[in-house]
A = this chain, B = another copy of it.
Amino acid sequence: MVKKYIIAIDLGGTNLKLALCNSSFRIIAKSILSTRQFRSKESLIQAIVDAINSFLKSRKLSKRQILGVGMGLPGPIDTRRGLVHFFPNIPGWKEVFLKKILERKLGLRVFLDNDANLMSLAEFKLGAAKGSVNAICITLGTGVGGGIIIDGNLYRAEGFAAGEIGHVPINEVGPKCNCGGTACLERYIGNNRIKEFANKVFGREISLEEISSLAKKRNPKAVKIWQTVGTHLGVALVGQVNMLNPDCIVIGGGVANAGKILFDRVKQVILQRAMSIQAKRVKVCKAKLGYDAGIIGAAILVAESI
């Protein structure tokens, strides 16, 4: 029998990651391009096509050996129709039938989903949420994204827009969010908001990495910052724990590297404020698949879709 492969792509505002995976979702080859070098939608699409073709050529693979192409994308996606509604951080994309365009150019089957959904799918199938039935996965970055696993399946909803934990309000009155909402979680713990807060606390410019390393040495200012972030995140999660009664909450993305201080505070807030049955059930743990979660999720998407 011919060995089969999957092409997995993770498009972010900064990087375009492409990987060739085997049918067990192991990454065999990977290439990374800078997203910003492509000024137009058309040039970005062509770069994806070229990268896939050069993958095939260099590995001497025929298209019949490729099960399909899976893509994680940084915005709302209609998975059923393969439609990109828009990207909040990449201009020029509005209601693009990307699946159809790529399938025509590539002669391969293509499947799209939101990047946070695919990270969640990967953590559920092969990572920190493995073995749970209902789970919430969160990525902490410039944006705060999420995905929901319900009864062992990724829950997308009919509008394909479920899982926006970053846009759960944690106060009735508060700062305006880019999404149009008010007092959204992301408005408190998106990377730039943490930096703003930290610059004030330290009275100078400070990076998230430095805050994490100072917090590990018990620097009181740094500890306070991660505890504050943990409280904001914890309050948003209390509502979701009481509503969805999940078995597991997985937290990934750069800020998750803040480590024990952040996780301890999140767990403490849930234990103190969520209802007892729900609080006792839920495990809060760090994402396992790290930087490659999106790519692995894109590969799983192909396997689940064909």
Q: How far is the CA of A247 from the CA of B167 in the complex (A)?
A: 18
A161 touches B76 (CB 8 A): no
Say how far A83's CB is from chain B's closest CB, in angstroms.
Answer: 12
A275 touches B180 (CB 8 A): yes
Asked if A32 is at the interface of the complex by the 8 Å CB criterion, the answer is no
| CB contact between A273 and one of B160, B182, B239 (< 8 Å): that residue | B182
Check A247/B158 contact, CB under 8 A, given A150-B150, A169-B238: yes
The residues of B that contact A277 with a CB separation of less than 8 Å are: 76, 85, 159-161
The winner among A155, A167, A172, A272 for most chain B CB atoms within 10 A is A172
A162 touches B245 (CB 8 A): yes
Check A275/B167 contact, CB under 8 A, given A134-B157, A150-B155: yes
Say how far A161's CB is from chain B's closest CB, in angstroms.
Answer: 4
A168 touches B243 (CB 8 A): yes
B169 touches A170 (CB 8 A): yes
Asked if A171 is at the interface of the complex by the 8 Å CB criterion, the answer is yes
The residues of B that contact A278 with a CB separation of less than 8 Å are: 159, 161, 164
Asked if A165 is at the interface of the complex by the 8 Å CB criterion, the answer is yes
How many chain copies? Answer: 2
Asked if A276 is at the interface of the complex by the 8 Å CB criterion, the answer is yes
Closest residue on chain B to residue A231 by CB atoms: B172
B162 touches A244 (CB 8 A): yes
| CB contact between A181 and one of B161, B164, B275, B281 (< 8 Å): that residue | B275
Q: How far is the CA of A163 from the CA of B170 in the complex (A)?
A: 18
Check A273/B159 contact, CB under 8 A, given A168-B243, A169-B239: no
B281 touches A158 (CB 8 A): yes
The residues of B that contact A148 with a CB separation of less than 8 Å are: 243-244
B181 touches A273 (CB 8 A): yes
B246 touches A172 (CB 8 A): no
Say how far A152's CB is from chain B's closest CB, in angstroms.
Answer: 11
Asked if A242 is at the interface of the complex by the 8 Å CB criterion, the answer is yes
User: Can you list 30 A-B contacts (CB < 8 A)?
Assistant: A85-B277, A133-B157, A134-B157, A134-B158, A150-B150, A156-B245, A157-B244, A158-B247, A158-B281, A159-B281, A161-B245, A161-B277, A162-B243, A162-B245, A165-B242, A168-B239, A169-B235, A169-B238, A169-B273, A171-B172, A172-B231, A172-B232, A172-B235, A180-B275, A181-B242, A181-B275, A182-B273, A236-B239, A239-B239, A240-B243
Can you name 4 extra interface pairs (CB under 8 A) apart from A164-B242, A169-B239? Answer: A148-B243, A163-B243, A181-B273, A182-B273
